[in-house]
Amino acid sequence: TRVVVVNGPNLGRLGVREPDVYGHLDLEALRRDCTTWGSELGLDVEVRQSDDEGQVISWMHQAVDERTPVVMNPAAFTHYSYGLADAAAQVTEAGLPLMEVHISNPASREAFRRHSVISPVATGTITGLGFYGYRLALESVAHLIERS
Ligand code: DQA
């Protein structure tokens, strides 16, 4: 099964950006990790990143059309993008898993990070575990596919 791992704005800056919060590893390392974890789980994982809200929304539409489960770190879009929330809702409405992941624990940070417009339409949310959260999200997708 194909799974898309979608990363939102500024996650292309992993490793450089606030390493105390997001760690020292870059997006390429995340890509390698997710691909490896996916193959262990029998999933064909494709890791994407964009700073462009329209692009991320298009990837949700594509996931629906191609019936592809989604793991998504919506980054700052999490907190305010109703456009992305509406697109994400179509994924779960279509019966596809959509796991929301955050590297940090947004609930322990600034007030504006405490609210997610994506969580209400996600299958589940994993926060605060670094890159390991993506692994758990991929395991969750594998579990949900098996169960369905
Ligand atoms: C993040 C948390 C968001 O609040 C922030 O805007 C990000 C990354 C995380 O992975 O912890 O860009 O989604």
pLDDT bucket at 92, cuts 50 / 70 / 90: very high
Can you list the domains of the chain with their CATH numbers?
A: 2-147 (3.40.50.9100)
Q: Tell me the mean pLDDT in the region 20-47.
A: 97
104 lines ligand 1 (CB under 6 A): yes
Q: Which residues contact 87 (CB under 8 A, 6 or more apart)?
A: 56, 57, 60, 61
Q: Tell me the mean pLDDT in the region 21-50.
A: 97
* ipTM surpassing 0.85: yes
Q: Which residues contact 98 (CB under 8 A, 6 or more apart)?
A: 69, 70, 71, 72, 88, 91, 92, 121, 122, 123
pLDDT of 58 > 90? The answer is yes
103 lines ligand 1 (CB under 6 A): yes
As a whole number, the mean pLDDT across the chain is 98
pLDDT recorded at residue 37 = 98
Q: Tell me the mean pLDDT in the region 37-65.
A: 98
Q: Cα(148) to centroid of ligand 1, in Å?
A: 30
pLDDT of 93 > 90? The answer is yes
pLDDT of 80 > 90? The answer is yes
pLDDT of 148 > 90? The answer is no
| Active-site annotation, residues | 22, 102
Kindly state the percentage of the chain with pLDDT values over 90. 99
SS (H, E, C) 3-66: EEEEECCCHHHCCCCCHHHHCCCCHHHHHHHHHHHHHHCCCEEEEEECCCHHHHHHHHHHHHHH
76 lines ligand 1 (CB under 6 A): yes
Q: Tell me the mean pLDDT in the region 78-105.
A: 98
For ligand 1, mutation pick of 34, 53, 78 (most atoms within 8 Å of CB): 78
pLDDT recorded at residue 27 = 98
pLDDT bucket at 64, cuts 50 / 70 / 90: very high
